[in-house]
Chain A
Amino acid sequence: MSADPALTDVRPADAPAGGTGPADAPTASPGTAPGAPLLSVRDLRVMFTRPGGGRVFAVNGLSYELRAGRMLAIIGESGSGKSVSSRAIMGLLPPSATVTGSIRLDGTEIVGMPERRLRQLRGTQVAMIFQDPTRSLNPTMRIGLQITEAIHLHNKIDKKAARARAIELLKLVRLPAAERRFHDYPHQLSGGMRQRVMIAIALACNPKLLIADEATTALDVTTQAQIMELLVDLREQLGMAVIMISHDLGLAASYAQDVVVMYAGKAVEQAPAEKLFARVRMPYTRALLGAIPRLDATPHSLLPVIGGQPPNLSVMPTSCPFRPRCPVASDQCAEIPPLLEHEPEHRWACWHPDGPGAADQAAPVAAAGAGGAAGPAVASAQPPAAAGAKTLTTPGRAGSATGQGER
């Protein structure tokens, strides 16, 4: 697999789809320029109102950008707002959610868009696949029909053509015996095959952006690798951008080009993958690295967790939200650290990116990390992953051999 998707870009749009190397810094300005990102999320906030009147601040000022044809990993603990923020891109939040900020997809603002227009967008511009392929397919409908439904919703074509297209899609996602499987019901397929069908549905109308929300979490390790490979290949083949959501930094390290780490509804660290893993700055990201499940652990065993309570989302934070669990917190952390581009392309929101006293506050830090002492809260046998070069190899997964080749 090559890092540069210098590829068969089927779609005419998305000029910068290929070729741009990591040196190509993400443009800070949103919007209209020719090199503009495909997706630009600015200060996104999502608040839920509970039936009893309580509120949940699920996303609190999330910003990131994604250029066409790239794969972005959004990483964070469960409850950090990954799903909610990406559902906002689809306009798929329940009525109890209040969304503010800006989401621009290919220059079009999505926040506040009327449902009718959102519907035209879903499937054709953005598509999404979900965590549990057992539940995300309609159990009473043949899979072929579920795919052709997606085709018919946006294209005026006859049944036969739709069927042909559906089978083509099933072949594209490498479902064995596609013609025969066309008439199967979801329960007749294995988990991995179901997820392939989900991907086929998502691809039915050539979306520019595919969101995979923990798409491999419910699968076993081998299948997980196969599905990830498939996503990587499809991204190259079709030139679409992919957002992969995971709580697993290892997966991001293996497959993604850009990484956003979320905590309490915010991005806390953000960089191209190789930069991030070369030198992890946020104590939270370090803790996540420590929490990577290992190959030798039984599949589906409980993930190692970061010690301490996840943040309370019913109140707006007034200090660094990670403070109660942070091993290197200081008095300064009573103030919310801003997310700044401290190094080229590498942003983080932390007052002590290298542990206490290593360097002072917001000034970009160039010093070599003496982070060995960092992350004592990490509840794992793995060495705290501060030494970047080493970490790059730590997230051992089935697919990582190829994944590493990208860098």
Chain B
Amino acid sequence: MAVVDVDSAIAQGDPEKGPPAPGAAAAPGPARRRVWARRLQLGVPIGLIVLIVLACFLGPVIFDVPRPTNGDILESGLPMFSDGHLLGTDQNGNDILSRLLYGGRASLFIAVMVNLIGVVVGGGLGALSGQLGGAFDTVLMRILDVFIAFPSLVLTLAVAQSLGASVRNTIFALSFFSIPAVARISRSAVLRLRELPFMAAAELSGTPRWRVLLRHIAPNIGPQLLSFAMLNMGVVIIIEGALSFLGLGIPPPDPSWGNMIFDGQQSLTATPWLVVWPSIALMVTVISFNLLGENLRSLWSSR
């Protein structure tokens, strides 16, 4: 599991806050290079993510990729660059590349859904709580405290176990722990916003609360939640992998990066690549989302 947990993301502030490299006096050359470095900061991770998404969702449509399941047992354990199996096949004769792509679909879909639910439900609850204050706020905060004291993986495991393994239930189980995190962030963002003069002005001029919430708060905490959601994409992908790895996520034979790693682990000595490929896919995806999230954050915080 990633160590980028939500609380720390709050506590951490911005890891890149220090001005980039106060190098000594600079000629225009390095300066221009630095401008480029800034563009690349967003460009590289976005490019990688687009590439991964396209590969997973359009790749199997455009290119003729073998099915990810029900492979021919006679074709099991083929090495890389075999005929028709670029990355070879696993013990069941399933094409590894195909499983990677379909597994990616599942991981990305789950991560997007979990974050969407987190941002909409958690963000909404948090904003409402911060805006309304009072008993609603107190009760919600106490409930969030409970969730935060609760070891998140254990909670997710238990929920996944009680609901049974499926994509939908995995989304549900993971939402359990992404909602409180987003709620806390959006609540504290709203509280900070409320200090600002324009909010006071809006409230004094008698604008209804829900309007203040929609018109003023949503656009202002949007960027913050977006960058958190990007960081959280990585976390969710990793935890989803962990669930599948423990047999509680996406049920086999359907592929997911987590259950591919788990399957491969059992023959780690003989066929290490069965673990290596999904691990690389997982890592590159997570790194891309983390990079994007962090760079977005340093962008809006330096604004």
Contact = CB atoms under 8 A, between A and B. Distances in A.
Q: Does B associate with A?
A: yes
Interface of A: 47, 49, 51-53, 94-96, 98
Interface in B31-59: 31-32, 34-35, 38
B29 to A, nearest CB: 9
A51 B34 contact: yes
B28 A96 contact: no
Contacts of B20: 51
A52 B35 contact: yes
- What are the 9 closest A-B residue pairs judged by CB atoms, nearest first? A53-B31, A98-B25, A96-B22, A95-B22, A49-B26, A51-B20, A95-B24, A51-B19, A94-B22
Contacts of A98: 24-25
Contacts of A47: 25
A278 to B, nearest CB: 43
B219 interface: no
Nearest to B302: A51
A51 B20 CA distance: 6
A51 B35 CA distance: 9
Nearest to B38: A52
Most buried by B among A47, A51, A96, A98: A51
9 contacts: A47-B25, A49-B31, A52-B31, A52-B34, A52-B35, A52-B38, A53-B30, A96-B22, A96-B25
B23 interface: yes
B253 to A, nearest CB: 52
B21 interface: yes
Interface of B: 19-26, 28, 30-32, 34-35, 38
Contact of B35 (A53, A94, A95): A53
A109 B34 CA distance: 34
A316 B26 CA distance: 17
Contact of A49 (B25, B32, B38): B25
B31 A95 contact: no
Nearest to A97: B25
Most buried by A among B19, B22, B23, B32: B22
A53 B28 contact: yes
Most buried by B among A47, A53, A94, A96: A53
B24 A53 contact: no
Contacts of A49: 23, 25-26, 31
Contacts of B25: 47, 49, 96, 98
Contact of A53 (B19, B21, B22, B26): B26
A98 B30 CA distance: 16
Nearest to B32: A53
Given A49-B26, A53-B28, A53-B32, 17 more contacts: A47-B25, A49-B23, A49-B31, A51-B19, A51-B20, A51-B21, A51-B22, A51-B34, A52-B34, A52-B38, A53-B26, A94-B22, A95-B22, A95-B24, A96-B24, A98-B24, A98-B25
A45 to B, nearest CB: 12
A96 B31 contact: no
B23 A95 contact: yes
A96 B23 contact: yes
A299 B114 CA distance: 54
Contacts of B21: 51
Nearest to B30: A53
A96 B32 CA distance: 16
A344 B109 CA distance: 81
A52 B299 CA distance: 13
A100 to B, nearest CB: 10
Nearest to B24: A95
B203 to A, nearest CB: 26
